[in-house]
Amino acid sequence: MFEIYVYENYEEVSQKAFEVMKKIVSEKPNAVLGLATGSSPVGLYKKMVEDHQKNGTSYADIVSYNLDEYIGLPVTHSQSYSTFMHENLFDAIDIKKDNIHLPSGVSSNLEKHAAAYEEELEMNPQDIQVLGVGSNGHIGFNEPGSSFDSVTHVVTLKHQTRLDNARFFATLEEVPTHAVTMGIQDIMRAKTILMVATSLKKADAVYGMIKGEITENVPASILQKHPHVIVVLDKAAASEI
Ligand code: F6R
């Protein structure tokens, strides 16, 4: 079930996303947050930080699980998702280090690590899962063709995804070819999903997610089967629905 909001610009989109997040954190101070990286949630995280600094909203008892991580980038790499999360959110709020969970992209046994991450997720279902959508319809790094039954696993990134993310690297060659991601089943376990999508580049994917056929070729289309998805869009991203 989608609850769809359309706003003029990214600032308004981020404000709405923040209000959704704040309600959950206020009602349940030990909520489990599933978090995403990428451009879409940056404004949301900025508002969470501002609110923490100005109003003292506490994240001390919050537990977080991130969606995904590149394989092969050391955690200290400027483009690792661990670095992204610390720079954009964790270092500026009072979340406890032990409560932060990100899949590892540098484990010596990636499969075993993914299985352990999966086990933890199953025991700690997300109260809210923040998502962005790829221009090809991916959620997390579940690329087109991923099984709707997938759990945390290692994936090969599609060329389109590497092209989309090349903006963060000096060259396309530097964009990792693999990642570890929560599976579709893990995402669907969240009580509430908060999807943020902006710009015309996302319009096709947003259409597929909301109105298209439910197919593994458009991973986001599975969200049509989720009981509570809050979708926050700008006008451009909403232009095809
Ligand atoms: C990020 C993630 C990805 C992004 C998607 C959109 O953790 O899992 O699915 O949400 O690629 O990225 P942006 O927001 O950069 O357009």
pLDDT at residue 83 in the model: 98
Please state, in angstroms and as integers, the Cα–Cα distance from residue 198 to each residue in 39, 62, 68, 213, 235, following that order: 9, 27, 20, 22, 8
pLDDT at residue 167 in the model: 94
Task: Work out the number of other CB atoms within 10 angstroms of the CB of residue 123.
Answer: 8
Q: For ligand 1, say whether the CB of 198 is within 6 Å of any of its atoms.
A: no
- Whether residue 16 contacts residue 232, with contact meaning beta carbons closer than 8 Å, is answered with yes
Q: For ligand 1, say whether the CB of 139 is within 6 Å of any of its atoms.
A: yes
234 is catalytic: no
The span from the CA of 87 to the CA of 103, in Å, is 17
Helix (H) or strand (E) holding 114: helix 110-123
pLDDT at residue 227 in the model: 98
Please state, in angstroms and as integers, the Cα–Cα distance from residue 210 to each residue in 95, 127, 195, 229, following that order: 34, 22, 11, 10
Residues of the chain with pLDDT under 70: none
Question: Over the stretch 102-114, which tens digit does the pLDDT of each residue have?
Answer: 999 998 899 999 9
88 is catalytic: no
